[in-house]
Structure 1
Amino acid sequence: MSIPGVERSAAEPLGPHLRNLPDHDGTVGDVGGIGWHVTDLLLPTLTLRRSALDHNLALFARWCTEVGVDHAPHGKTTMSPQLVAEQLDAGAWAITAATVAQARLMHRWGVPRVLLANEVVDPVGLRWLAAADPGFEVYVLADGAAGVDRMSAAFADAGRTLPVLVELGVPGGRAGARTREEALAVARRVAEAPGLELAGVECFEGVYPQDRAERSLAQVDRFAADLAALLVDVDRLAGDRAELVLTAGGSAYPDRVVAAWQDLPPLSRSVRKVVRSGGYLTHDHGLLARAAPFDLRPAMELWAYVLSTPEPGLAICGFGKRDAPYDVDLPTPLRGPRGPLDGCTVDKLNDQHAFVRHAGELAVGDVVAFGLSHPCTAFEKWPLVPVLDDADTVVGAVRTYF
């Protein structure tokens, strides 16, 4: 679907604030038609591979249809109106946000429905939600009485109700009621609270190790089954609401949560099963490559020059912590001008320098492509990300807004 945020960002003028582009008098929307090759850009730069994006969008949409679930991908992964629009075009039921500020921006882009997968307790954020356009549908989470009471106070006289999903958590995890009994007490509180509507249940199974080890799979399966059991209890409290939402499914275990939901008992209303995978779109060469259950293709690469070879076996490349994610894995050298770099590793990053260990494959002035791990902390570093075809020609660009 076309959303206004795409047109607005496409009309933005280029300039030095977009640090990876050479000087040009055009707009963001012009980038794909200039004829640049990746080596015409100011390196370092993050890029996206068009063919991989298309493959991942189609694969995940097809899987959702086959298993009978809806998709509300994490828009906070990319915070890009262009990529959000592509996800909506591929059939996404909603876009997931983590904060009111993200939901507000998505509303400005024209996203019609946001699943705000977090508790909201701050007065400023609650006032914005209460005053938002009535046509903008937004769901939030609750895991305790204090949060429910704060939301109810903000919405009691708002002239609209706020759909609330009860969040189930695990001991030692992040937010979420720690037991099914505690979650059920939260559900009762929501059902009785002025201005709120009990709309379903939610969990995030990514609190367990994202390694697909047998122990991790068993924990995820049990957690997703507990959430389904909680939904049965919530069904008895949800008044005359026509539909309940059952949602989980990050990027590592969507297949496991969907499998755990296959045999729900009959309920008094329809159930919308929603997975929220966001990293599927770009995939990666690290965390998601190890954990994702599907044949996805990594779309992200980071390109940089070799600046120096000051010691045998050491190349200093022109990127660092300001340019690449390093919270899960360090970048992986993929290829240079003479082919694959299978024996090379990055063993340290400074702010703007990468220490690359090699066996003579690299020389000063070489352009090296690196694979990355964890898209969430890659996109946040780049206000504009060029999109490449398979010949490394720039065929477009996406803006991000962090």
Structure 2
Amino acid sequence: MENEFVLDAACKGFPLAGKPCSLTELGERGWNLLDDTLSYPVATLRRSALTHNLAWMQDFVQRKGVALAPHGKTTMSPELFRMQLQAGAWGLTFANVHQLRVGLAAGAQRAIIANQLVSDADLDGLDGLLRQYPQARVWFLVDSLAQLARLADWGLRRQNKRCWDVLLELGIAAYRTGCRTHEQALTLAQAMAHSEVVCLGGVECYEGGLGRCDSAHDIEAVSALVRSVQTLVQQLDDQNLWGNQEVLLSAGGSAVFDLVIPMLKLQVKSRPVQGVLRSGCYVTHDHWNYARYLKLVETREGLSASLQPALEVWAMVQSVPEPGLAILSAGRRDLSYDQCMPMPVRWAAKGQSGTDALKATPDSWQVKTLSDQHAHMVFAPDGVWPQVGDRVALGISHPCTTFDKWRWMALIEEDGRISGAISTHF
């Protein structure tokens, strides 16, 4: 953000006795994840995996001939935003004006708010940000005549003649926002073309609700959406309803992002098209939900490997109260659990540090339930027993709902050395 983030005892995971420092200064402390300097639980990002994922996704979109505007809601981290932009991202995507503020402060010059703006507070806020960052270009979504009327009413009441950059959203039946039919979308586009308060820059959709982690189903469902968008885009082009000299076409969650590439590469007769993919979770990936979808992406793309999980939350074994049960010092307040329980992926015995200390967890170690502050991990009594003081890395599913539980995360090297940190701003 505008002021450098300071790590101190107010930040969960930072030692109470530790001297406050900036994110960059943390790497100069000489601390190691396994020297027990930090207070468990502690959220970490493996730097090597981050670096790999940034390069892999940028290479993917370049090969496909589209642009990348990763969804910032995943991490809400200005440090990670800057890494994504420096790696070549065209822009960033956000869900609301509050998130946009963080992205613009981090240096984004282009942004998509993949949501409808309706309230006075949001329109006032966006207007103010565009005045503060006059070089920035920001698009948001419109999906109804009612919303268009509210935009016009805001302009009248504020005596503000701003013309908003917008994308028309085509939705999915029984799912989230967006026009449900071509007729609705075409009527709305015609109204926007005659409006002085919006400039229709392109078409947006979100395919994530169609994914079932079944390639046959997902290909058919997403391809149908792509064809629907193609038909609408052609209708809009035939009637010359665009407001800009370039058309933006945008889609792309983090599960079946490869299947929307044909939509992003659609062409129109009247002007150039810029396809923009919005996948955000790639930067850290995960250990289950997106990992299983990615295996299908690898098969469809003929890849042997792709993204790597970077995010882990480390906890300490604080009690082994009975055979087959260990209690870890991390719970619902520290980890995502909306899609599945966290998964023990690595561990280090108490008192051990360095690369050799890190081992893969036994297969029988599994988190069965979470309390607010505890993970209940079962294990085979006839196998390796976790001991009080051992450290366990918990892999997660759905990084979005782990990031929002932390104000900072440590960047770690493969030997556990802490080389820096990132902040979050939810």
Interval of TM-score (by shorter of Structure 1 and Structure 2): over 0.9
Partners of 1:161 and 1:252 in 2: how far apart?
34
Partners of 2:59 and 2:6 in 1: how far apart?
37
Q: Name the counterpart of 1:26.
A: 21
Superposition pairs of residues 123-272 of structure 1, within 5 angstroms: 123-131=120-128, 132-133=130-131, 134-155=134-155, 157-235=159-237, 236-239=239-242, 241-262=244-265, 264-272=266-274
Partners of 1:142 and 1:50 in 2: how far apart?
38
Check whether the contact 1:346–1:354 (CA below 8 A) recurs between aligned residues. Answer: yes
Matched, 1:387 2:411: yes
3-state DSSP class of the match of 2:231? helix
After TM superposition, the structure 1 stretch with the greater mean CA deviation from structure 2, 74-83 or 26-35, is 26-35
Shift of 1:129: 1.9
Check whether the contact 2:72–2:93 (CA below 8 A) recurs between aligned residues. Answer: yes
Partners of 2:155 and 2:107 in 1: how far apart?
23
* Deviation per residue, 1:333-386 (Å, 9 max, x gap): 112226322221111001001110111431111101111100110110010100
Q: Name the counterpart of 1:299.
A: 310
C-alpha distance 261-125 of structure 1, shift in aligned 2 (>3 A): closer
Aligned length in residues: 394
C-alpha distance 122-266 of structure 1, shift in aligned 2 (>3 A): closer
3-state DSSP class of the match of 2:376? strand
C-alpha distance 267-152 of structure 1, shift in aligned 2 (>3 A): farther
Shift of 1:261: 4.7
Q: Name the counterpart of 1:324.
A: 335
* Deviation per residue, 1:308-341 (Å, 9 max, x gap): 1112101010000000000111100112226322
Check whether the contact 1:187–1:237 (CA below 8 A) recurs between aligned residues. Answer: no
Identity of aligned residues (%): 39
Query: Which ranges in structure 1 are unaligned for 5 or more consecutive residues?
Result: none
After TM superposition, the structure 1 stretch with the greater mean CA deviation from structure 2, 389-398 or 292-301, is 292-301
Q: Name the counterpart of 1:397.
A: 421
Q: Name the counterpart of 2:97.
A: 100
Question: TM-score normalized by structure 1?
Answer: 0.94
The 4+ residue runs of structure 1 with deviation greater than 6 A are none
Partners of 1:317 and 1:266 in 2: how far apart?
56
What is the aligned counterpart of 1:50 among 47, 50, 55? 47
Check whether the contact 1:46–1:303 (CA below 8 A) recurs between aligned residues. Answer: yes
What is the aligned counterpart of 1:369 among 385, 393, 402? 393
Check whether the contact 2:264–2:276 (CA below 8 A) recurs between aligned residues. Answer: no
CA RMSD, 1 decimal: 1.6
Check whether the contact 2:117–2:123 (CA below 8 A) recurs between aligned residues. Answer: yes
C-alpha distance 187-288 of structure 1, shift in aligned 2 (>3 A): same
Q: Name the counterpart of 2:10.
A: 17
After TM superposition, the structure 1 stretch with the greater mean CA deviation from structure 2, 332-341 or 218-227, is 332-341
Q: Name the counterpart of 2:360.
A: 340
Question: TM-score normalized by structure 2?
Answer: 0.89
C-alpha distance 108-158 of structure 1, shift in aligned 2 (>3 A): farther
Shift of 1:111: 2.0
Partners of 1:237 and 1:320 in 2: how far apart?
55
Query: Which ranges in structure 2 are unaligned for 5 or more consecutive residues?
Result: 299-305, 350-358
Check whether the contact 2:264–2:277 (CA below 8 A) recurs between aligned residues. Answer: no
